[in-house]
A and B are shown apart, each in its own frame.
Chain A
Amino acid sequence: MSAYQHNKTLAATLALVKRRSGQVNSKTELLQLLDKLGGLPQPIRYQHLPLWLCSAGLVAGALSCIWLYHYLVELTWLPAIGWTLLGLSLLPLLVIGWRYASLKKLSRQLYWHNALLDNQLQLLRPGQWPDSRSWQQQFAEFDRGNHKREFKQILAGHYAGDEHQFDYHYWHFHYVDRRTVSRANGKGTRTEYTHYDRYGLMLPFSYVQSLFICSFAPKGFSGEKYQSDSGRFNKIFNVRAREQMQAARFLKPAVVVALEDLAGQLSQLNLEFSADGVLCISFANADLLDARPPCGLEQLSRFRQSIEQATALPKLQQTLAGMHQLMRHSDSNF
């Protein structure tokens, strides 16, 4: 098979895999999709020799033009041609780089999709999102950014613990602050935009209401102040509640210690319990759903093996286990 034919077949198969990867609903379907790549010559990679030769030829042509201009003929348009050929020689290299990056991106995309399946998570399309506007009204957490506020991504999941199970949403919130600053030379002003991201989980939590445990305060942070018995906890968190008694009942020693530990894993951690029994936990860590494949699609059989095994999202599981622990300590055993 010629390099052109090989690359054409590979590109078509990869495009098919990429298109269908978003519709995969089970591990079996994902493995079947990978089997489509199994029929291609291994290892899976583009044949770039013609592009390397093309690039080398163009560089040689460019150097020849410059050499001719200096030593043989003094034609004024020769350098222009030389520079053009040199510029054109970059195009095959860009194609090589783009193909390499897209293959790597597809590997990561498939592996991430596999991690979502293994952790009972479903990526929601914007049309399937819960009412994020009501979230913004319900929780002070989203009272950030004077220029722009938007949700970038929402996933739905389910957690089954020993004593409690619950559905939850994982969200990624992006906000932008705008401010006007004076120019360094003192002539006029300019507008600066600063982008921020927050991540979090939304889950039902009926054991406590109207309580905000906060290490990264938003604008609408208010209520009666409460301090726990732990000096360390008080250094990390500020607590506000509609009634102090709510906070005192909820913040048992085991809960305080669990939150201290959770704050060690998640930076800028906030827990906001709404008046109608929903918990919004938020933090600055972007890597809760991070899943990196041990190898790329080039090593298809090894990649397939890694897909066959269960992929853990340890940070997400630790956070969910932490929430389960809070539920366990807040419910009644009798």
Chain B
Amino acid sequence: MTTGIIIGVIILLAVFVVVIYNGIITRMNAVERGWANVITQERQKNKMIPHLEQVVAQFQLHETNLQTQITSLRSGIAQLQSDKIDAGQLEQVESRTKELMQGLNIALEAYPELKASEVFNNLMREIAEQQENIGAAIRIFNQNVEDFNNGIEVFPNSLVNASLNKKSRVTPFHDTEAEAGFEYKLK
């Protein structure tokens, strides 16, 4: 009878550990999938680069910095790797996109005929939607990271992780440029 109870408890504990172990793996996979999704969305920007170059050529915007900003963005996107979570590189690409957007707005002021261009307006709409998608993909990634970090840090998951999974905490994406505008800092 006692042996039966002991065996039962051991089986129950084993099942419990397996469930937690698999939960951590599933959450880690979700984080990786979320990251791959962010990279996929970032690479969507490559779709608009030919259109941007077309605008630069059509309106002879050579004296602006747009061409340099486009090249810089293109190389930034090329350096992103879907199998390696690198929030720093992502931040750089986002920063280059912001610079490009600012460049486009300056060009819009300097060349009023751009406002009437259908290609340019479509381009601006596409960029805005892509930025929304990237923002949403980053939010999804951060949600998945939060779930994963909770999954390895709460008790008794922390015990299972320390002895079996051995996964470390993933850093969520922070927009340091936006954070610089706030007096409050998260310690």
Which residues of A pack against B, CB within 8 Å?
163, 228-233, 252-258, 328-329, 333-334
Assuming A231-B147, A333-B126, is B27 touching A254 (CB within 8 A)?
A: no
Most B CB within 10 A of own CB, among A231, A253, A257, A333: A253
Chain A hits for B135, CB < 8 A: 254
Inter-chain contacts of B133 with A (CB < 8 A): 252-254, 329
Are A254 and B132 in touch, CB under 8 angstroms? Answer: yes
Q: Which residues of A contact B30 (CB under 8 A)?
A: 229, 231
A257–B140 contact, CB under 8 A? yes
Q: Which residues of A contact B140 (CB under 8 A)?
A: 228-230, 232-233, 253, 256-257
By size class, the interface of chain B is: 20 to 34
B95 within 8 A of A: no
Which A residue's beta carbon lies closest to that of B127? A333
Q: Which of B33, B129, B134, B137 contacts A333 (CB 8 A)?
A: B129
Q: Is the CB of A253 within 8 A of B147?
A: no
Contacts A/B (CB < 8 Å), 12 sampled: A229-B140, A229-B144, A232-B140, A232-B143, A253-B37, A253-B136, A254-B133, A256-B136, A256-B140, A257-B136, A329-B132, A329-B133
Q: B136 to A334, Cβ gap below 8 A?
A: no
Grouping DSSP codes into helix (H, G, I), strand (E, B) and loop, the B interface class, with mixed when no group exceeds half, is helix
Q: Is the CB of A230 within 8 A of B143?
A: yes
The 10 tightest CB contacts between A and B, nearest first, are A253-B136, A253-B137, A257-B136, A254-B136, A230-B140, A333-B126, A229-B37, A254-B132, A254-B133, A333-B125
Please name 4 further chain A to chain B contacts, defined as beta carbons within 8 Å, in addition to the given A229-B34, A334-B122, sorted by A numbering: A229-B137, A229-B144, A328-B129, A334-B126
- A232 vs B133: C-alpha distance when bound (angstroms): 17
Contact call A230/B34, Cβ cutoff below 8 A: yes
Report the Cα distance A70→B130, complex, angstroms: 89
Query: Is B129 a contact of A329 with CB atoms below 8 Å?
Result: yes
The listed residue (B27, B36, B51, B144) touching A230 by CB distance below 8 A is B144
Q: How far is the CB of B104 from chain A (nearest CB, A)?
A: 15
CB distance from A251 to the nearest CB of B (A): 11
Interface residues of B in 135-152 (CB under 8 A from A): 135-137, 139-140, 143-144, 147
Complex alpha-carbon distance, A269 and B15, angstroms: 35
B41 within 8 A of A: yes
Interfacial chain B residues near A229, Cβ < 8 Å: 30, 33-34, 36-37, 137, 140, 144
Residue of B nearest to A228 (CB): B140
How far is the CB of B83 from the nearest CB of chain A, in Å? 15
Residues of B within 8 A of A (CB): 27, 30, 33-34, 36-37, 41, 51, 122-123, 125-126, 129, 132-137, 139-140, 143-144, 147
Q: Please, which residues of chain A bring their CB within 8 A of the CB of B147?
A: 231-232
In the assembled complex, the CB of A226 is this many whole angstroms from the nearest CB of chain B, namely 13
With CB as the reference atom, state the residue of chain A lying closest to B147.
A231
Nearest Cβ distance between residue B44 and chain A, in whole angstroms? 9
A residues near B132, Cβ cutoff 8 Å: 254, 329
- A254 close to B122 (CB less than 8 A): no
User: Considering the chains assembled together, what is the distance between the CA atoms of A231 and B129 in angstroms?
Assistant: 23
* Closest beta carbon of chain A to B92's beta carbon, Å: 20
* Among B122, B134, B139: residue with most chain A CB under 10 A: B139
Which residues of chain A are within 8 angstroms of B144 by Cβ–Cβ distance?
229-231
Contact status B125-A253, CB under 8 Å: no
A162 (CB) vs chain B CBs: closest residue: B125
Complex Cα distance A255/B129, Å?
A: 11
Residues of A within 8 A of B36 (CB): 229
How far is A228 from B129 in the complex, measured between Cα atoms in Å? 19
User: Which residues from chain B contact A252 at a C-beta distance below 8 Å?
Assistant: 133, 136
Interchain CA distance A230-B136 in the complex, whole Å: 10
Min C-beta distance of B105 to chain A, whole Å: 18
Question: For residue A328, which residue of chain B has the nearest CB?
Answer: B129
B41 contacts which chain A residues (CB < 8 A)?
Answer: 253
Nearest CB of chain B from residue A4's CB, rounded to whole Å: 67
Chain B nearest Cβ from A331, distance in angstroms = 9
